Amino acid sequence: MIYRQLGETDLHVSVITFGAWAAGGWMWGGTDRKEAIQAIRASYDLGVTSIDTAPVYGQGTSEEIVREAIQGIPRDKVQILTKFGMRWDMNPPKGDFSIRTEDKQGNVVETYRYAGKESIMKEIENSLRRLGTDYIDLYQLHWPDTTTPIQETFEAVAKLLEQGKIRYAAVCNYKADQMAEAEKYVKLASNQVPFSMVNRGIEDETVPYCIENNKSILAYSPLERGLLTGKIKPGHPFAEGDHRVKHPSFSPENISRTNAFLNKIKPLADQKGASLAQLVLKWTSERPGITIVLAGARNAKQSVENANAIDIDLSEEEIDWINRHLAEM
């Protein structure tokens, strides 16, 4: 495994970081708790020391799974990355309405983006309890909240830093100007944003800003929710509750177009003795400005494959060859 420094912090995390969204089952058609725990442990055995989770993933399930998975591992040998600012448990609700889903009992749950001071102070305690730890390595605002001033949010985060409940602060899904505003109140380590071969919009503004200001980028959905594995065909039967059913990336036309590209680069994957998913993850890790690649897995086989992607050797010429085919999509 390769490890990279997050921003200007002393955190060195595995380039392949375990993304625990799918492990929590939320919006992925449920989860098998035992298999999810085994997936995290199998990846740790291969050097994946960092795990990214969030309270909203399964309404606490993902964080609880992470706690179980890391039991027995010295706390300083694993980096826990979690989030705040997505609330499903407020009455009355506050913040920006985000999404309507179902909980584990099938009840309709409305989730809101909310990062007010009192809410943050409650969320940190809940996360520490669910994770079974007394500090979070990287605490990330999950989504921008337009109902709360950035100053209020990050003055509260600064308080958590002072209290030692978190080691470093970060954001997710922030634009460059929002990062600059947050920096007035707390030093940010990173920004977690969506990035994949077929979703490179952050390269216009966010990547240049982060490079110039020594901020790391944590790329999530590098496999575009499984689309870039080559295993998804038009008419794929998704499980009930899987958000991909209505996602535009999974229209029959887009699946066919993406698979045509993947077929072009598959000979290189075969030459490397790698799967398409591994080739895509390695390409992503070599993209300028990308520090960490978040790779989700629902079982040990998937997590082992993800971890081993880092061992693929890609030359500059091979990367350029992939990019030429990508430009033709």
Q: Annotated catalytic sites, by residue?
A: 57
- d(CA 5, CA 9) in angstroms, rounded, equals 7
Say how many C-beta atoms besides its own lie within 10 A of residue 35's C-beta: 16
What 3-state class would DSSP assign to 307?
A: helix
Looking up tokens 């693929």, which residue turns up?
312
DSSP 8-state secondary structure symbol assigned to residue 238: P
Tokens found for residue 97 = 């309405």
Strands (E) located in the chain: 3-5, 12-14, 16-19, 50-52, 79-84, 86-87, 96-102, 108-113, 136-141, 166-172, 188-194, 216-220, 292-296
- d(CA 40, CA 50) in angstroms, rounded, equals 10
For the chain, the first-to-last Cα distance in angstroms comes to 31
Q: Are strands 216-220 and 166-172 parallel, antiparallel or unpaired?
A: unpaired
Burial label for 252, CB within 10 Å (0-12, 13-18, 19+), is: exposed
What 3-state class would DSSP assign to 246?
A: helix
- d(CA 265, CA 168) in angstroms, rounded, equals 39
Strands (E) located in 20-107: 50-52, 79-84, 86-87, 96-102
DSSP 8-state secondary structure symbol assigned to residue 28: B
